[in-house]
Structure 1
Amino acid sequence: MLLLPVYEPGQALVTTVVSLRDAAPDAHVVVVDDGSGPASAGPLSAVRDLGCTVLRLPANRGKGAALKHGFRHIAEHHPGHAVVCADPDGQHHVEDILRVARHVEVSARMVLGVRAFEGRVPLRSRFGNALTGVLFRAATGRDIRDTQTGLRGHPADQLPWLCTVPGDRFEYEMNVLLHAVRAGLPIEQTGITTRYIGDNGTSHFGSLADSVRVYRPLLRHALSPSLRRGGVRVAG
């Protein structure tokens, strides 16, 4: 199962779905539209015609809310299936998405597709990931090479738990990592291609409020005396 949370998607969503269909015809794609406007009706209709399940939130609630809506749907309608979450803007190569899918199927553990941040990487992305990595290690004692990756795999038995993790916007993905460490859930990592399009201009992340949402749970966990540390394994 592939889960794509989208907000105001363009043609890149259709391109991603077509590439996935060509590479993995049996994959089932669930798209969660986070309250997009009329301009996105065409791409959403196109991926529905390609066989995707398209769910819609009536108003923009944030990436975390969209992911949890998708997890609940998959747990109810496709029980027993692992889920790979990916950003739908062309940032992730299909080969990398399928690599994470194979890894989570074999390991039955949370798997992160981590970028090397080599070559032409926007400064804000390079600096932001380095800073959150340092803060994550300070808060948990664990080394996550790419805390902000949107390419993640989850085994089927994690879906109910994922729906209980707090956060509706960009902080949700950080909360998943922090709560996984606290719960003692193993986290595996596998390398993926570092790819940015137009200086990462397709990302909806970037405001000061988004940064505060991400860093606040890190600081909260760093000050929590009850933090329990779980294992983090690294694959090549």
Structure 2
Amino acid sequence: MVLLVPVYQPDAGLSRLVADVRAADPSCPIVLVDDGSDVPVEAPGCTVLRHPINQGKGAALKTGFAHIAVVHPGEPVVCADGDGQHSAEDILRVAARVRETGHTVLGVRRVRRMPPRSRVGNAITREVFRATTGRWVRDTQTGLRGYPPHLLSWLGRVPGARFEYEMNVLVAAARAGHPIDQVEIATTYLNGNASSHFGSVRDAARVYRALLGFTRF
């Protein structure tokens, strides 16, 4: 497994994440993509790729996928957020499911533990996603996702540069018939998820545009 973490203006949660994953699996390569942070990210023992200016989460993930496909061929990739929401235990569980099935795996959050903003937004997108694609995905907005190595080049071709990219991936997977597995995770929210860089109106518009662009028939 390779852990891929897109970061922008990270706080102490990133250091905790790296330390926890290192303790759980010392052999796991960690790739960070610094998406134009004001202070360049430094993380000893990790590969740090840099965007000179902020390009968006989707662009950062694509940069990471392209690098991993070349440097770590044949390895599954687990993407996690860099704010400390995801535990090393859950990251390894998602990775194990990817290896077991060869499928895309989503780490789905427990709805009752989500902050109100996340709970409402996820409920709406979950229902719209099911209505438009016919697929039932419990957590369309999760940042903890695992991908098998054979999908890395495909992931690089999915459109989107910002937060809409992750929804585009789900829509494209539904359209292409790619299986999606789901593993329940325990997510830690700090200060009501205040560290999130998701801009509620503009980014939500991008996400719903991706959903509404899907045609089942």
TM-score (norm 2): 0.97
More displaced 10-residue stretch of structure 1: 164-173 or 9-18: 9-18
Code of the residue aligned with 1:84 in structure 2: it is: V
Alpha-carbon contact 2:132-2:216 (below 8 Å) kept: no
Q: Hey, what does 1:143 align to over in structure 2?
A: 136
Distance 2:27 2:181 in 1: 25
Distance 1:205 1:127 in 2: 14
Question: Would you say how many aligned residue pairs link Structure 1 and Structure 2?
Answer: 216
Distance 1:196 1:12 in 2: 11
Distance 2:47 2:60 in 1: 14
Code of the residue aligned with 1:192 in structure 2: it is: I
Alpha-carbon contact 1:110-1:152 (below 8 Å) kept: yes
Code of the residue aligned with 1:34 in structure 2: it is: D
Q: Hey, what does 2:174 align to over in structure 1?
A: 181
Q: Hey, what does 1:231 align to over in structure 2?
A: none
Q: Hey, what does 1:234 align to over in structure 2?
A: none
Q: 2:151 aligns with which of 155, 158, 163?
A: 158
Distance 2:190 2:92 in 1: 20
Structure 2 residue matching 1:157: 3-state secondary structure: helix
Structure 2 residue matching 1:118: 3-state secondary structure: helix
Distance 1:163 1:123 in 2: 32
Which runs of structure 2 are paired with 1:125-144 in the superposition (5 Å)? 125-144=118-137
Distance 1:79 1:2 in 2: 14
Question: Against the structure 1 CA distance between its residues 15 and 137, is the aligned structure 2 distance closer, same or farther, given a 3 Å change threshold?
Answer: same
Q: Does 1:16 align with 2:9?
A: no
Q: Does 1:99 align with 2:93?
A: yes
Which structure 2 segments of 5+ residues have no match? none
Alpha-carbon contact 2:105-2:183 (below 8 Å) kept: yes
Q: Hey, what does 1:230 align to over in structure 2?
A: none
Q: Does 1:26 align with 2:27?
A: yes
Code of the residue aligned with 2:21 in structure 1: it is: L
Alpha-carbon contact 1:118-1:194 (below 8 Å) kept: no
Which runs of structure 2 are paired with 1:1-236 in the superposition (5 Å)? 1-38=2-39, 41=40, 44-45=41-42, 47=43, 49=44, 51-119=45-113, 121-221=114-214, 224=215, 226=217
Which structure 1 segments of 5+ residues have no match? 227-236
Code of the residue aligned with 2:84 in structure 1: it is: G
Structure 2 residue matching 1:210: 3-state secondary structure: helix
Distance 1:191 1:83 in 2: 18
TM superposition shift of 1:225: 5.0
TM superposition shift of 1:171: 0.2
Task: Tell which structure's C-alpha radius of gyration is larger.
Answer: 1
What whole-Å deviation, never above 9, does each CA across 1:77-128 have from its counterpart, x for those lacking one? 1111110000010011111111101111111110000012124x31110000
More displaced 10-residue stretch of structure 1: 60-69 or 99-108: 99-108
Question: Against the structure 1 CA distance between its residues 202 and 185, is the aligned structure 2 distance closer, same or farther, given a 3 Å change threshold?
Answer: same
Structure 1 residue matching 2:112: 3-state secondary structure: coil
Q: CA-atom RMSD, angstroms?
A: 1.0
